[in-house]
Amino acid sequence: MTETNGTRADAAGTTPGGTGARYFRAGPAAMLVIAAVIVAVDQATKALAVWGLEGQDPIRIVGDSVRLLLLRNPGAAFSMGAGSTVVLSLVATVVVLGLLWFSRRVHSRWWAWGLGLILGGAAGNLVDRYVRAPGFLEGHVVDFVSVGWWPVFNVADSSLVIGVVVVAVAVFKGVEFDGSRGPAEKVTKDG
C-alpha cells in the first residue's frame, strides 16, 4: 500500500503524515522472538543450576559478593506471597496471555525490546510454576544467582527488570508502543 506521498504505510521509518514518529513493522515478531530467546536461556540456565548446584555448597564467584546457590521460590519477587502460589501462577498466566495478545500492536523498537524482555521473563518463571515440583500451578521457581544483599534471582527475573527499565525509557522519551510520539515530544517541540 502506498500513501499519496509515495511512502509505504507499513515500511520501517517515518509513519505516514510526517509526524516524525518511527514505525517498526517487525515489532510484533521482534517482541516474540526476544521473549522466546529469554525463555530458552532462562530454562537452560535453570536446568544447569539444578544439575550443578543441587545439594552443593554455594559457589563463590567474587568472594561472598557474587555466588551461585540453588533456591526454590514458591512466592513472587523477594519470596512474597509464598502461600499464594496458585494465585500468582494464574495472575502470571493472564499477564503472559495479555502480552501475547497486545504484541500485534507493538510497532516501536523500544517497546518491542522492553515488552519482549518482560514477556520472556514472565513466561520463563511461569514455566517453572507449571512444570516444577510440587506440581501444576504450584511449582517453585528456580533461583540461583546471589549478588550482595540482593535476593537470589535468575535470568527471567533479570529480564523482567531490564524490560521495565527499557519501557520506562520509552515512556520518558515519549515513544508510544505503536511507534508514534506521545506528549513528551510534543511538549519539547512546542515549548
List residues with catalytic annotation.
Answer: 143, 157
* C-beta contacts of 68-71 below 8 A and 24+ residues apart: 68/144, 68/145, 68/146, 69/144, 69/146, 69/152, 70/142, 70/143, 70/144, 71/142, 71/143, 71/144, 71/152
Selection from 101, 102, 143, 93 nearest residue 123 by Cα: 93
If you count DSSP H runs as helices and E runs as strands, how many of each does the chain have, helices first?
A: 5, 5
